[in-house]
A and B are shown apart, each in its own frame.
Chain A
Amino acid sequence: MIIQPEGLPGDIRREADVVIIGSGAGGGPIAKELSEEGYSVVVLEEGGYFTREDFDFRAGQAFTRLYRDASQTVTLGMPTIVVPQGKTVGGTTTINSGTCLRIPRHVLKRWHLECGLRDISEEELGLLYSAVEEYLQVKRADPEVAGRNNILFLESAEGLGYSGGFLPRNAKDCEGFGVCAYGCPSGAKQSVNVSYIPDAIRAGADLYTRCRAERIVVRGGRATGVRGRFLDPHTGKKTYRMEVEASVVVLAAGAVQTPSLLMHNRLCLSSGRVGKNLSIHPCGAAMALLDEPLGNPKGIPQSAYVDEFAPEGIMLEGVTIPPAVMAITLPWGGRRHAETMWRYPYIGSFGSMISEHDSSGKVVAGPSARQPLTFYNLGRGDLDRLKRSILLMAEIWFAAGAKRVYTPIAGFKELTGPRDFARLARTSLNRAGVYGLSAYHPMGTCSMGADPYSSVIKSSGETWEVENLYICDASMLPTSLGVNPQLTIMSLAMRTAGFIDDRLSEGAFEKQRAGRLERLRGRLRTEKESIAKRLAGESDSPRQLLG
């Protein structure tokens, strides 16, 4: 069941086979897999539990309730970049756009060649992806609800000869309310809070909300449990203590919090790689003033993509934003701001995502485990790629009939036509000249690899230094993916769950006999059958999961 701190009588002591820190794309699937295998699973989540009835379309409320630090998490460096992260049951999957892309083949090849991860084979990963896609009912965005903003951009890009299409998403029967980032109000998006976690709870897992893990208990080189504190939902102050003794500890708190917790616990530090190797997919945006109203923000925010420039590390993906977010994105204030906002229905927007080549970042321990510091410097090559992506979006918007294009670049905040466009193309950007940059998908800070001297975890997810301590979130990805990572994290989480199962059931004859791939194939078959059954029957209400 889901246990919220309001109903607790006092300090809690628990025993379990597995304790998982974090309930997002990594923690959720592991909780489901292992609890369905019959293990006792306890999940600790720092954020609160919200259901579709709680999601109220308002950016302000979503930022303060569902996002870590009200979305004020930034990187220190040049330029300063906002990196929004979820802090709620389901983690960032609750507030992402639902895009489900597989790892590009050239990235997997790099993992094999540079990181020695040859045992993560294309075949195995393919099976895992299929199982997750089946479970989350992933399909291409429906053009009917893709939103005029995205359709217009895509048509214009195709007119220029650029390849693109509709993105695969985990949102069946999505009606395009346009507020994925504030929690799906219809429950269509199959984020972890409505998929893996409820299934884990049904299989017997317990999830404690507003419980911050502070200490990973290690005895004799082996992880044996977690200690933490509950947080008052209103003041955020610490209340009761939580202690879980477990055979296996899974750290799945995300690429910023996971290394921070390790550093504060002084664990796994001998390779010197904890917190290093941060990549974040820096994102640009181009807004355009058009003649026709676009019906913003109705429509799937991230329904379309242009991948013509993916080989260069540039991916263009749709993004429609409600008024409250557009208001903080505009690069001016006062009267001009008000006049631009008045034209909100006529303003289109699209985003770009850069797969980093020469940028570098790291997470270091802050004054407290809760407040790690994130440093990141955008490299010259990536800055040029960012400028190129903005130019490409401007070109596509102008071809779509835009009168003006708004960019986040100082001195070029408003492009009015080909002359401005050419001037920007000639200009060499400086890093301080990019306004209000954001980035998503922090990853790589506890990377996996075949060499204990240059990685933090094995390909099984277990740390090199502490037995029975597993890491499973975006921090394990050894390189930037160049695409949205949730599907890859979930697939690797299923893989890690298989290794944990092996560890916990060492000696069990049946499980040893069947190979891991064979078991995966079995799971895929079971998944298809259970979805067919689920579609035929009725689901539990999310409120019934509460303790």
Chain B
Amino acid sequence: MRNYFVERLRRLAPIFIEPVEDLPPADPEQVVEFSREFLRAGTPAFRVIFYAMIFVLQAICLLVRGKSVYSLPPEEADEFIQSLYNHRFTALSTIPTILGTPMYMAHYNRDDIQEPLGFDIAAMREEAAAREVQR
């Protein structure tokens, strides 16, 4: 992943992944690291579309809000992202969907995020080891 996209992804992560209640906030480095692996393992087509969407998101924001998406205040950025998700034109609602896929997966793949949500991987791994099934 080129540095340009790494930098953009770092700045997009907190826009897409808002802090909530007691859950730890987004870790942009972890999001970038996971996205890098996810894109590397995936199809070339998805990779190209993902990178293109970073440009398209910025272009639409400049056009509609007159500002860069990275410089919008948090509430306005959230409103902008929601408006795209809810847009009746599929082409527009697809933009945040594609960008969000690796970012959300990265964030909610973290043990410290999953555990407070009731998905305690360490405990389950221990239990699975104790309950190994032989054929």
Contact = CB atoms under 8 A, between A and B. Distances in A.
B2 interface: no
A341 B108 contact: yes
B20 A410 contact: no
A187 B121 contact: no
Contact of B128 (A60, A186, A333): A186
Taking each of A323, A336, A539, which has the highest tally of chain B beta carbons within 10 Å of its own beta carbon? A323
Interface string B8-29: 0000000111111101000000
A332 B135 contact: no
Interface in B1-48: 15-21, 23, 34, 37-38, 41-44, 46
A-B pairs, top 4 by smallest CB distance, nearest first, are: A338-B20, A60-B109, A185-B128, A327-B104
B42 A69 contact: yes
Nearest to A297: B119
A489 to B, nearest CB: 20
Contacts of B46: 69, 72
A143 B109 CA distance: 29
Interface of B: 15-21, 23, 34, 37-38, 41-44, 46, 77-78, 81-82, 85-86, 88, 90, 93, 96-97, 100-101, 104-109, 113-114, 117-119, 121, 124-125, 127-128, 131-135
Given A69-B41, A333-B16, A432-B90, A342 B21 contact: yes
Interface in A532-547: 534, 538-539
Contacts, number: 152
A240 interface: no
A324 B108 contact: yes
A187 B124 contact: no
Contacts of A187: 132-135
Given A59-B109, A173-B133, 15 more contacts: A58-B109, A58-B121, A60-B34, A70-B41, A73-B43, A175-B128, A190-B135, A195-B135, A198-B135, A323-B113, A333-B96, A334-B81, A341-B117, A410-B88, A410-B90
Given A57-B125, A185-B124, A70 B118 contact: no
Interface in A428-480: 432-433, 435-436
B12 to A, nearest CB: 11
A327 B86 contact: no
A338 B104 CA distance: 10
Given A322-B119, A327-B108, A433-B90, A339 B20 contact: yes
Contacts of A397: none
Nearest to B21: A342
A230 interface: no
A331 B100 CA distance: 10
Taking each of B82, B93, B125, B128, which has the highest tally of chain A beta carbons within 10 Å of its own beta carbon? B128
A266 interface: no
A64 B82 CA distance: 28
A332 B82 contact: yes
A109 to B, nearest CB: 36
Contacts of A534: 135
A338 B100 contact: no
Contacts of B135: 187, 190, 194-195, 198, 534, 539
Contacts of A56: 121, 125
A371 B93 CA distance: 26
Given A63-B38, A188-B133, A334 B109 contact: no
A257 interface: no
A177 interface: yes
A345 B117 contact: yes
Nearest to A136: B135
B105 A324 contact: yes
Given A324-B114, A335-B18, A538 B134 contact: yes
Contacts of A323: 108, 113-114, 117, 119
A433 B77 CA distance: 24
Interface string A165-191: 000000011110100000001111010
Interface string A309-338: 000000000000011111110011111111
